Amino acid sequence: MKWYLTVGFTILVMVTTLLIRIPIPGGGYFNFGDVVIVFCGLYAGRKSGLIAGGIGSAIADLIGFPLFAPITLLAKGALGFFAGIGKNYQGLMRNLMPIIGGILMVVIYFIGTWIMPTFGKAAAVADLVPNLIQASLGFVGGRLLYAAYVKIEMIK
């Protein structure tokens, strides 16, 4: 994969994370960054998914929620990495790898929120369902975007 595509995907993840924010009760927000992370992984592979997901999302957090930037770097990087592993598979495994990445993302956020002194166990539990919804929407949106890309490429 060309380095400039990874840079472009990193910027696109950051912009889609910052552009549309839907606040949730626990203090975080829903965004469309995960859709781009899953698409990037499936399109460009695990290295680009890791870099774009982790760095793009962490930069967005530095702008809005700097305390979470290190956790986001790990969580979204894991999502992109596992989605990127799915690039090399067909059928079930292509779907399973981004799902594993999404689950790992939720687990990292859960543990990271729990161990933060300013948040703790209650915040981690409160954010669990919104994070599962975010991961699910990111998976569905990213897969749909990738399917649309494949259809367009087939028409060419």
Q: Using the structure block, give the residue that is written with the tokens 């957090």.
A: 61
User: Which residues constitute the domain of residue 46?
Assistant: 3-155
Q: What is the pLDDT of residue 60?
A: 95
The total domain count for the chain is 1
Provide the CATH number for the domain around residue 43.
1.10.1760.20
CA distance 147 to 93: 15
Name the 3-class secondary structure at 27. Answer: coil
pLDDT digit string (tens) for the chain, length 156 residues: 689 999 999 999 999 999 988 887 666 788 999 999 999 999 999 999 999 999 999 999 999 889 999 999 999 999 999 999 999 999 999 999 999 999 999 999 999 999 998 899 999 999 999 999 999 999 999 999 999 999 999 997
H helical segments located in the chain: 3-19, 33-44, 46-64, 69-86, 92-115, 121-155
Q: What is the pLDDT of residue 64?
A: 82
Q: What is the pLDDT of residue 12?
A: 97
Torsion of CA 34, 52, 152, 102, to 10 degrees: -30
Q: What is the pLDDT of residue 26?
A: 64
Q: What is the pLDDT of residue 111?
A: 97
